[in-house]
């Protein structure tokens, strides 16, 4: 029997259910039943529960449905549960669980609803409604820097309910009132000091009503959360070569495969000649797949060699054939009413203010960018007449399941997705073309598991990249202050085509991501207007770490910096003056303090720049110091200040911030994807490397806790980085760089 | 063909131009060395051959000859960590962790050759190993603390 109880204060409830030899604690959905993912573990009538904690005689399992891509999500989720459950998280077995709609992520949509500083009633209602939509469509996804806000209350509550229910089981066994019992390290402690292990109480706990009325512990009593020594749980494995990523996973009897697909993304294959490939050592089978050809072999290397040896005749792409032609499309769309997307900011009267001769104008460009995580995309798939099993590192496991069901003709409940550890993602693994190809190959050898691995070249040229964008700024200064900031942005849509391609859900209306990182910044400027233009879809694009803010963070803040310099104001002081959000203002002030800011000049050939961007609700300010050496720009030092409301994992949070900034700096300096004859021209790291160690500055990071909401940090470190660097280069050299990658305009050492 | 990996003799039957990386991973099931680029641009596949850091994606198995191969699994284990691995854990270097086998093998080789490398040398030697998560500040710190550990050992 499931025991949902009657408490309806929260939008979710934590309940309990019996499992073989033990008990599971997890969430009940209140408004509508959602199919349960652990069908194999829970018996008839108990399908309403979605477990976060499972305890049986053999031990404790914590279920962490947000996937690990490197951002520390698994350790965070485990520590949230463990903090209330009173166990050492390192002593528990960790499992991603099976994908389930009940593991829906409300925060990822809630954060897109409105700027992070906006807590008005209407915004709270909007966030609530967006969260409901996530629940309705069962959006189990890892992304949008949302794991922390989504999990913070949910997982601690799961831990607390489990703890109190175990205490109640001990109370009923011993006759001691529950209020007299304590817990420690996986045991209930009796007043006489005797200990009862949770594992021995599990079966009894399954037979009683769960204790649902729990009070979460005050943060001042936390033992793990927020502590400087809170460690990630994957460090030993990742430092000894024993972490198993998707590309490392083994299934008995598996064969190896690779693919070559049309470099014109989405284009057809007209014909192919695999004569030479078939004759190559180790090759077992040639399998046509959608838009390409797969090779099955006895070793991944044989498969990649053979895939490269297939002669293919490709159909054309459904987009302009070269970068030059794509830029023409972006140029046509900007400030063209036919391509209007939205105008989310229109303060004062920018049009009237700009009817003057002393306008400051600038145009900015950001290119297509590959995600290029270190682990090339891969998937192991086994297809039989009755089921399909998939082992792969994916951010959206339910969409993966549904795609495989459609390809195989199996019911979705007979498709099982086992989410694997990911060697990075940055948004790459919300796309599942690699899994679809692996399913197609596995369907040709039913009963045999196939491990399909993309070559690095295939991974980089089959990218759904970050789209390019153009921004035009027009502005005016008066009396030493910024008076008018009018920004137009033209870019292809990201969210609607991504959602439709992967889930089949059509998203009407404008794409809010085109403007993220621009109109939603917490500044008061007398005349402040941001207009976005949606260009027609070209190369299919996707979410790239920090999405719209990745480009706008550079273009919006750089233009603001240009206006501030034109006004003769101090770049840091003027940003502080313009900022209306107290939490954000303190972030800018603090980066001034830790960097010893006293103006943009640092002496001859040296300079520093400051930049600010709020994304995913997190205000981040960064200062970069550079030296203009005889051989080029050297980045000396970087300072980062962010506010996340409450820091749960300080050491990891710091790493996410400097890692995000390094990601932003590396792409700003070194990276782009360009296209000729429909194909991406950069196919490996020699042509697209991001930042290497020798270009990496020293870092100083400080995280504040003034904000009213708890936030995640996987992405917000990225957006201000390029602007801070460009602003510093201007301070050191007088040269303003308005286009990425910067190395096209200035040398770096 | 017989090769020696982590002190064990292993029999393999593959094309002589197959890179060592793919012999280790798909023939012998040794998964610590990672495939990242296949063209010696990322260093994720770094192993030691006779103690020297080598990009295993570029060493044809037919050219290995008598070379003794050490992968990260042979450098140290969770129960018996190498000093470089201890430093990596203490500094909490890894994020996704995919490049770290190669980073650690490169760092161990560097410290074997130069027990007290300068900052410039650490930057120069470690820059061949790409990390997309941006763990570089902690890699620098961990190489230095590993150097101290090895000196004290």
Average pLDDT over residues A56-79: 91
Question: Is A689 within 8 Å of B76 when comparing Cβ atoms?
Answer: no
Rounded CA-CA distance A236/A398 in Å is 30
| H helix or E strand, kind and range, residue A25 | strand A22-29
The pLDDT of residue A654 is above 50: yes
Instruction: Tell me the mean pLDDT in the region B83-99.
Output: 98
pLDDT of res. A22: 84
Give the integer Cα–Cα distance in Å for A623 and A608: 7
pLDDT (0 to 100) of residue A134 = 61
Closest of A575, A547, A564, A581 to residue A719, by C-alpha: A547
Does residue B121 belong to the interface with chain A, where contact is any CB pair within 8 Å? no
Q: Does A494 or A19 have the greater pLDDT score?
A: A494
CB atoms within 10 A of CB A402: 18
Contact B41 A684 (CB under 8 A): yes
Tens of pLDDT, residues A227-236: 988 888 999 9
DSSP A466: B
From CA A109, how far away is CA A99, in angstroms rounded? 19
For A241, the closest of B73, B122, B132 (CB atoms) is B73
Rounded to a whole number of angstroms, the distance from the CA of B101 to the nearest CA of chain A is: 6
A732 pLDDT above the threshold of 80: yes
Q: Which residue of A has its CA nearest to B18?
A: A301
Q: Look at A67 and A475; give whichever has higher pLDDT.
A: A475
pLDDT at residue A8 is higher than 50: no
A308 — alpha (psi -120 to 50), left (phi > 0) or beta? alpha
Tell me whether B124 touches chain A (CB under 8 Å). yes
Answer for the pair B94, B84: CB distance below 8 angstroms, yes or no.
no
Nearest CA in chain A to B95: A70
pTM of the model: 0.94
Q: At A670, is the pLDDT very low, low, confident or very high (cuts 50, 70, 90)?
A: very high
Give percent of chain A above pLDDT 90. 80
Omega within 30 of 0 (cis) for the link into A741? yes
Q: Is B117 on the interface with A (CB under 8 A)?
A: no
- Indicate whether this complex's ipTM tops 0.90: yes
Strand partners, A441: none
Residue A115 predicted with pLDDT over 90: no
Distances (CA, A) of A112 to A36, A529, A549, A580: 28, 20, 12, 21
Contacts of A694 in chain B (CB under 8 A): 123-124, 127
Q: What is the pLDDT of residues A149-195, one digit of tens each?
A: 888 998 999 999 999 999 999 999 999 999 999 999 999 999 999 99
Q: Are A423 and B101 a contacting pair at CB < 8 A?
A: no
**B71 contacts in A (CB within 8 Å)?**
241
> What pLDDT score does A25 carry?
85
A111 falls in which pLDDT band (50, 70, 90)? low
What's the distance, CA A24 to chain centroid?
Answer: 29
Contact call for residues B58 and B40 (beta carbons, < 8 A)? yes
Supply the pLDDT for residue A135.
57
pLDDT at A36: 41
**Coil vs helix vs strand at B43:** coil
Contact B136 A72 (CB under 8 A): no
Residue A70's nearest CA partner among A700, A662, A643 is: A662
- A255-261 vs A450-453, strand pairing mode: parallel
């Amino acid at each position: 029997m499931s025991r949902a109880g009657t408490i309806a204060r929260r939008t979710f409830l934590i309940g309990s259910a019996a499992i073989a030899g033990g008990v599971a604690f997890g969430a009940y959905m209140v408004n509508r039943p959602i199919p349960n993912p652990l069908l194999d573990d829970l018996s008839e009538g108990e399908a309403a529960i979605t477990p976060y904690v499972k305890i049986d005689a053999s031990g404790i399992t914590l279920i962490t449905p947000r996937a690990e891509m490197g951002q520390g999500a698994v350790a965070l989720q485990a520590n949230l549960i463990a903090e209330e459950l009173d166990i050492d998280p390192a002593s528990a077995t960790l499992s991603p669980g099976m994908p389930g709609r009940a593991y829906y992520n409300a925060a990822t949509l809630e954060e897109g609803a409105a700027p992070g500083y906006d807590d008005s009633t209407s915004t709270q209602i909007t966030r609530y409604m967006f969260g409901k939509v996530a629940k309705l469509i069962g959006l189990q996804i890892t992304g949008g820097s949302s794991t922390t806000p989504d999990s913070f209350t949910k997982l601690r509550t799961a831990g607390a309910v489990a703890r109190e229910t175990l205490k109640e089981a001990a109370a009923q066994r011993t006759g001691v009132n529950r209020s007299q019992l304590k817990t420690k390290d996986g045991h209930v402690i009796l007043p006489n000091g005797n200990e009862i292990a949770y594992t021995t109480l599990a079966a009894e706990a399954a037979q009683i009503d769960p204790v649902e009325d729990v009070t979460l512990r005050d943060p001042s009593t936390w033992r793990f959360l927020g502590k400087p020594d809170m460690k990630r749980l994957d460090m030993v494995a990742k430092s000894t070569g024993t972490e198993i990523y998707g590309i490392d996973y083994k299934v008995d009897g598996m064969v190896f495969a690779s693919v070559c697909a049309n470099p014109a993304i989405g284009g057809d294959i007209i014909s192919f000649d695999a004569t030479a490939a078939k004759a190559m050592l180790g090759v077992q089978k040639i399998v046509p797949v959608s838009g390409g050809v797969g090779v099955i072999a006895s070793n991944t290397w044989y498969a990649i060699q053979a895939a490269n040896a297939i002669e293919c005749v490709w159909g054309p792409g459904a987009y302009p054939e070269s970068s030059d032609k794509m830029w023409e499309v972006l140029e046509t769309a900007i400030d063209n009413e036919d391509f209007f997307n939205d105008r989310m900011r229109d303060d004062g009267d920018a049009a009237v203010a700009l009817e003057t001769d002393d306008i400051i104008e600038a145009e900015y460009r950001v290119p297509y960018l590959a995600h290029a995580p270190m682990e090339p995309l891969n998937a192991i798939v086994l297809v039989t007449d009755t089921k399909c099993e998939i082992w792969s590192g994916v951010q959206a496991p339910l969409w993966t399941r549904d795609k495989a069901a459609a390809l195989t003709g199996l019911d979705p409940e007979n498709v099982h997705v086992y989410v694997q550890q990911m060697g990075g993602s940055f948004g790459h693994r919300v796309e599942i073309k690699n899994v679809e190809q692996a399913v197609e190959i596995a369907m040709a050898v039913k009963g045999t598991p196939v491990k399909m691995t993309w070559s690095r070249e295939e991974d980089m040229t089959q990218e759904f990249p970050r789209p390019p964008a153009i921004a035009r700024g027009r502005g005016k200064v008066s009396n030493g202050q910024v008076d008018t900031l009018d920004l137009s942005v033209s870019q292809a849509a990201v969210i609607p085509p991504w959602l439709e391609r992967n889930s089949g859900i059509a998203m009407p209306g404008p794409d809010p991501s085109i403007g993220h990182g621009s109109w939603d910044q917490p500044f008061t400027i007398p005349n402040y207007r941001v207009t976005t233009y949606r260009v027609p879809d070209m190369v299919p694009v996707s979410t790239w770490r920090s999405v719209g803010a990745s480009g706008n963070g550079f273009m919006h803040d750089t233009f603001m910096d240009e206006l501030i310099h034109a006004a003769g104001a101090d770049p840091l002081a003027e940003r502080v003056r313009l900022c209306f959000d107290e939490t954000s203002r303190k972030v800018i002030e603090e980066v001034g303090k830790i960097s010893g800011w006293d103006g943009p000049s640092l002496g001859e050939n040296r300079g520093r720049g400051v930049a600010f961007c709020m994304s995913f609700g997190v205000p981040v300010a960064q200062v970069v110091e550079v030296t203009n050496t005889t051989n080029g720009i050297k980045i000396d030092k970087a300072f980062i200040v962010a506010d996340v409301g409450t820091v749960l994992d300080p050491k990891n949070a710091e790493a996410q911030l400097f890692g995000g900034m390094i990601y932003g700096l590396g792409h700003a300096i070194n990276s782009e994807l360009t296209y000729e004859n429909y194909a991406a021209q950069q196919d490996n790291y020699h042509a697209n490397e991001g930042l290497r160690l020798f270009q990496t500055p020293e870092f100083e990071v400080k995280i504040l806790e003034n904000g009213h909401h708890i936030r995640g940090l996987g992405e917000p470190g990225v957006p201000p980085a390029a602007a801070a660097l460009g602003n510093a280069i201007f301070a050191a050299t007088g040269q303003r760089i308005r286009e990425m990658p910067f190395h096209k305009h200035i040398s770096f050492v | 063909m017989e090769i020696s990996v982590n002190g064990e003799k292993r029999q393999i039957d593959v094309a002589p131009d197959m890179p060592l990386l793919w012999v280790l991973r798909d023939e012998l099931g040794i998964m610590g060395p990672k495939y990242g680029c296949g063209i010696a641009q990322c260093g994720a596949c770094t192993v030691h051959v006779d103690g020297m850091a080598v990009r295993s994606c570029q060493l044809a198995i037919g050219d290995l000859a008598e070379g003794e191969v050490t992968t990260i699994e042979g450098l140290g284990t969770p129960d018996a960590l190498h000093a470089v691995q201890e430093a990596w854990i203490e500094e909490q270097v890894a994020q996704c962790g995919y490049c770290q086998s190669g980073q650690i093998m490169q760092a161990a080789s560097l410290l074997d050759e130069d027990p007290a490398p300068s900052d410039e040398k650490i930057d120069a030697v470690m820059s061949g190993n790409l990390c997309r998560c941006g763990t570089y500040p902690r890699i620098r710190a961990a190489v230095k603390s590993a150097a101290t550990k090895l000196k004290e050992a």
